[in-house]
Structure 1
Amino acid sequence: MDLIKKIEEHYLINWGECTEYIFNDKEPIHNLLPFFKVLKFKPNEKRNSWIYATCGMSGEDKEQGLELFILAPTENNFLINLLVAIAHYYASGNMLGLGHTVNFGCAWYEKSRCDHGLISLPYLDGPELEWLETKSMNIRFLWLIPITEEELRYKKENGLEALENIFEETEFNYIDPFRDSVV
């Protein structure tokens, strides 16, 4: 439980006040991660997006933990369920980390072409957010960026750096659910 408090504090230091703590102990994930929750941050003067972030995805039995967050233009409860599903996948012993991708199973917004997520560095927040050192483990906080099927294929063929370079060159709008593919 102490680890959960440290993760919460880390988010609060970086993003300010949390709008909502979403915890449902009836979800199957609580058999694997009993204190897991999703935190929701509303837009503020620094950022024009909603933030949904895992809290406790790291568990307590790993040498290095992982927490993920996703940015959104509007409130979107699908993102809560998405993060719960990803955390359950990770807690079940599956590997996730920088450069990995996840299949959302559907578009993150209705009529969006983005139905996958790329686990990336937290470029907008930098190293202040990326790492939290605790007595029991180091925790890495990474950004889950919604991407299209074409962008996923491009990443597989050309590598993470090539895709991220195109993101930077095109100045793509990472919170626009209806954006075109950059490739």
Structure 2
Amino acid sequence: MQEREIDAHLRGMWPDRQHEDFQWTAGPVQERLPGFHVRRIAPLRPRESWVYVSIGGYQAGVPRREFVILSPVESVRHVESLAMVAYFHSLPGHRVEIGSIVNLGHPWLEGSEADRFLASPPYSLEHEFWRTGDSGEDVEFTWLVPIYSEESEYAKRRGIEALEERLEKRGVNLVDPRRTSVVGRW
């Protein structure tokens, strides 16, 4: 039931865009989250973001959570990253909650130095997108915002809110893989 609701929710949010699903078969994600896949939603106009959404992360338990990556370019790397984050989230004691920072171990996109994700509400998307759940079992969508290692350290020392304030104050384009860090190197 959840998968159909998520599909309807995504198609309702982006009815005119092309939707395509991708399986990730490498690694153990399918063992923990059977049927896990990623929906890629193509932009209509050149300056719009590609939207990548996990489908199957909700199986990890309450809160039922799916993950979103916004990107200026199409990349299979996002399918892999979402599979990795959903798998990590499915492990007891490793839930990815709002404010969590996930170290990818590699740049989120080729040509970027940002190698971590900050789990955040999907502020840049319409508020109607944030949650779905006609069956009484809501699914929350969590935006994975690419950040730099020094931004991660700053958040650990000063708090997530302090980092979010800096990002907002500087007016950075969070999906620009070549954006500069909003904090100095430690």
- TM-score w.r.t. the length of structure 2 is 0.89
Structure 2 unaligned segments of length 5 or more: list them.
none
Kindly tell me: are residues 117 and 24 of structure 1, through their superposed partners in 2, closer, same or farther at Cα, counting changes over 3 Å?
Answer: closer
Tell me the residue number matched to 2:69: 70
Deviations 1:80-121 (A, max 9, x none): 111111111112222111010101111112331100000111
Q: CA deviation at 1:26?
A: 6.5
CA distance in 2, matches of 1:71, 1:24: 18
Percent identity over the alignment is 31
Aligned residues: 181
Tell me the residue number matched to 2:100: 100
CA distance in 2, matches of 1:9, 1:171: 33
Summarize the alignment of residues 10-89 of structure 1 with structure 2, pairs less than 5 Å apart: 10-16=9-15, 17-24=17-24, 28-45=28-45, 48-59=48-59, 62-89=61-88
CA distance in 2, matches of 1:32, 1:15: 29
Summarize the alignment of residues 140-155 of structure 1 with structure 2, pairs less than 5 Å apart: 140-155=140-155
Q: Aligned Cα RMSD in Å?
A: 1.9
Q: Does the CA-based 8 Å contact 2:24-2:79 persist in structure 1?
A: no
Deviations 1:29-74 (A, max 9, x none): 2222112110001112496111111011111x62320011011111
CA distance in 1, matches of 2:23, 2:98: 26
Q: Does the CA-based 8 Å contact 1:101-1:119 persist in structure 2?
A: yes
Tell me the residue number matched to 2:174: 174
Name the stretch that deviates more: 71-80 or 135-144.
135-144
Q: Does the CA-based 8 Å contact 2:24-2:83 persist in structure 1?
A: no
Q: Does the CA-based 8 Å contact 2:167-2:182 persist in structure 1?
A: yes
Q: Does the CA-based 8 Å contact 2:66-2:139 persist in structure 1?
A: yes
- TM-score w.r.t. the length of structure 1 is 0.90
